[in-house]
Structures are given as structure tokens and as C-alpha cells.
Amino acid sequence: MGWDREGVLAGRYRRLDRIGQGGMGAVWRAHDADLDREVAVKELRVPEQVAEDERAVWYARMEREARAAARLRHPGIVTVHDRVVGEDGRPWIVMELVRGRSLDRVLAEQGALPARRVAAIGLAMLDALSAAHANGIVHRDVKPANVLLEDERVLLTDFGIAAVEGDATLTRSGAVLGTPAYMSPEQVEGRSVAPASDLWSLGATLYAAVEGRPPFTAPAHGGLFVAIATRDPAPPRCGGPLAEVLRGLLTKDPADRPSPEHVRELLIAAAKGLAGRSATVAGPPRSATLVDSMAGAAVIGRDQAVAVRGALACIWITVAFTMLLGAGDDFPLLTQIEHWVPVGLVLAVILSIGLWSLTHRPVLALVAVAVINVWVTVGALLANHALGNEMQADADATFSWLAGAFAMMFAFAGANRVLAARIPSVGSRQALLSVVVVLEGLVMTLWPWAVAGLGGMQLHPPDHGRSEEFFVSALGIMLLAWIAAQAVLRPARAGLDPGR
């Protein structure tokens, strides 16, 4: 299957004209007869002399591009509408038609761009990459040629070599994938890639945009790889926050690169004060800004890594101190209930350690923290005061309850980032997250009463002196702080965003 004699693909897409061409294919403007709209059709052309196994790799790469992009719904990522497979197995991708130019072409025609415009472009690229990373996708080929500029929009495209979590295709030992001038040190050394690898490539792209050349150049790939792995780029001449962004992102060790949120703050500072069209080139309001305010408002960190690791650290501390608080009663959590409860709790904590490095999986971290939180708090309640159908929170159960709620703040903040990235409409995103935040606050503070009620039991707060008053007040403060911060800090932070 391919273009028929009348220039129609799959009986539906009529070829109009070619809008781009490279060594391995072309992109066509076409008309979708079924939906009466114009689309872009990406055609792969593999030379006849290419061996079958290598041809299969190229086909799989394009299939991967379609799958990866189809998982993402974000205004800063080119939308994939359809995939067509020919009789020879060759895939065709039908995409959103972007009526603009690539950043690579703009740089070739205009040379280096003003620092403020580059910062605004960087903000939009960072938001698109954050959405991809939140969905377990590492792009691996961020470069000016894969950044499209359409009026006020900035779009990321070409996920052909993306590392998709849970997808082992194209994973070949020793394979080096990417565009050499924009590859991270870990890529040129053949090491595994992570979201931090895309941040390096983002830095290299922005460096090229503001300096007029890539950060590293060499006559041959070998020399280029050595430069990327061992040398520092020339100090950017732009100065200010943008130069700080470039220096940070082009750090050799991925662990030493700044967090996406810190990069965003610096880029906002660099882009502040823009006027006219360049002020809005960053595109639609960024979902991450809303979730970042949640994290800041709840004092739980300002990026996804802090949210995930903060949640894990808090819940581990909760378990440890809950055990210690019960020491005076011969560890009732270990001695007065079935042994499988503490054993299962310890196993859950051990398994959760593996999530420390999976900061791009905040929903998984939320599930793990929630399970451990319920396990340790219910265990403490049952171990101390299970009298008939009544339970009363003792010191260890009270601590577990409050500390577990704090851990859930971290976990919810990280998971909200993924939720926000999946909703392209700003109005819908804000409306939904406003409701979600209230529900999350109620869940993380009041869930033990709900669980006790489902079990046909009555749960009473601690009754030692003024402990009940303190306990109820603490829960109320946590709930109100979580909710109120969204209304107070979100507008304050949004006001710093030049893209709004």
C-alpha cells in the first residue's frame, strides 16, 4: 500500500505537495477526505540496497515514533492522527499539519536569535519534554530540526528513536542513537538514557539558538564525541539567567544537571519583559506551572523528583518512628497482631526503595506510598486499641496518621503533574485540578475514619489531656494549607510566566 495512481493513500489521504524531504523519506501535505482537513503524511524511503534486517530496524523506528507520539496529548507536541502500513510492511504516519518552519531552518536563515526569544522557546520545549517524561518517554533526539515554530506555537516532533518505557524494540547493545552534535555524554558513551539526557539536548539546542552554533563541533564524529564527553563548551555570550541555564544543562554528570523546575524558573526570568509576538512564542499556558505551585504551596518541593523522593522518604520515616514509638509497649505493632502485617509492611518498604530512581513514575510512587501508609496506620490502630468495635488512636497511630498525610502531600503533588500534562485545555485543567486538590486533601487527612467505618468500627482521636484538640487542629491545618495554597500561590507564580 502506498500512493496510488491518483496520489491517494489508504483510499483517504490525497497528496497535495511535498513540504519536506531528507535522505530517508519525505513529508507531504495531504487532504484527509474523510474528515475534510489537511494533514501531514510522513513517508519512509529506505534505499533498495539496504539489507532486510536494517530495513526492519528503520520500519520499527517509524512504528515507534507513531506509538510514542500517540501516547502524548499536549499542545507542544505534534499530534499523530493515524498510521498506515503498506503491503511491504513500510509504515506511513499521518500527523497534524504544522504550518511553520523548524528552528533549524530559522537559525540557518536568521542566525542567532535574541536571548529572550530563545528563553521563551526553551520554556515551551521544557513543557513538552516534561509531558513526555511524565508518560515514561525519553525523546533522545532533541535538536533544532525537531522543533517547529508556527506563529505563537512551539512544537516538538520526531519521536522516532524515543526510549519508551515498557517497549524493548530497537534496543540493541552498543547502539548509539541520536544526532551527534546534540547528544548527551551518556548517549555518546552508550550508557542508558533518562529524562536528564533530554535536558542536555535541550541545553545544546538553546545554546545553538542563542550562540548561532552547537556547543561542540568537530570535523568527524569521533572528535565530536570526545569533545562532548570530556570538554566544556565555550561560555555563552548571552549572560544572565539563560547562560546559567545553558551551563547547568550542559553538565557532564546527569545527576548534577538542574531540575526541570529550576530550569523553568531561570527561563522565566530570562524571558521576562518580552513584548509583542516573541513574548508569546512559548505557546499555551504551561500545565507544569500549576502543579509546581501545588508542590510549593504544600512545602513539598518544586519538581517531580522532589515530590516522588520526598513522598518515599516521609513514608519510610513514618514507618520507622511508628515502630519506635511502640517500643515502650514491647512493640505492639510486632507482637499484638498477626505476624503477616509487619512482615508485609517491611516487604512493601523494601520494594518501594526501587522507586527512588523512578522519579518519572509519580503515579506508581503514589500507589506505593498510599499502600504503606494504610498498612502502617491501620496496623498501629489495631495493635494499640482494638476493643470490640472501637479503636482509639495512641501516640504511634497518631504520628503515623499525621506523618502519612504529609507523605501523601508529596505523592499527590507528583501525580498531579502527570494529570495536568494529559489535559491540553487550560480551563479544563484548572477546573479539574481545583476539584482534585480538595478531594486529595480530604482523602489524605480523613481516610482512617472512612476505613474504620467500612470495617464496622468506631475510631476515636487520642484523649490524653489536650491531645484530641491538638490532633484535630493539626489535621485541619494540613487540609486547609493544602487547599488554600493553591488559590494563593498559584496566581503569584503564574504572574511570573511571560507566556501567559
Residues marked active site are found at: 141
3-state secondary structure 241-254: HHHHHHHHHCCCCH
- Please name the residue that has the C-alpha cell 522543533: 147
Q: The C-alpha cell of 369 is what? A: 506510598
Sheet bearing 101-102, strands edge to edge: 101-102, 147-150, 153-156
* Nearest of 90, 93, 64, 70 to residue 167 by alpha carbon: 64
- Tell me if 186 sits within 8 A of 193, measured CB to CB: yes
The string over 426-444, giving b where at least 16 C-beta atoms fall within 10 Å of a residue's C-beta and e elsewhere, is eeebbeebeebbeebbeeb
CB 86 within 8 A of CB 184: no
Count the Cβ atoms, other than its own, within 10 Å of residue 221.
13
Please state, in angstroms and rounded to a whole number, the distance separating the CA atoms of residues 498 and 500: 5
CB 32 within 8 A of CB 12: yes
Q: Quick one: 257 exposed, middle or buried, by C-beta within 10 A (0-12, 13-18, 19+)? A: buried
Q: Which residue(s) pair with 253 in the sheet?
A: none
Q: Known binder of ligand: residue 42?
A: yes
Sign for the pseudo-dihedral over CA of 420, 421, 427, 432: negative
Query: What is the residue type of 73?
Result: R
- Burial pattern 76-96, b for ≥16 Cβ within 10 A else e, equals bbbbbbbbbeeeeebbbbbbb
β-strands 80-85, 91-96 pairing: antiparallel
Q: Which grid coordinates are listed for 43?
A: 513517508
Q: Which of 481, 477, 388, 408 is nearest to 448 (CA)?
A: 408
Q: How far apart are CA 6 and CA 490, in angstroms?
A: 54
- For 484, other C-beta atoms within 10 Å of its C-beta total 12
- Residue 311 sits at the vertex; the CA angle it makes with 415 and 164, to the nearest 5 degrees, is 45
Which of 115, 129, 124 has the alpha carbon at shortest distance from 207?
115
Cα–Cα distance for residue pair 82/66, rounded to 1 Å: 8
Q: Which residues are annotated binding-site positions for ATP?
A: 42
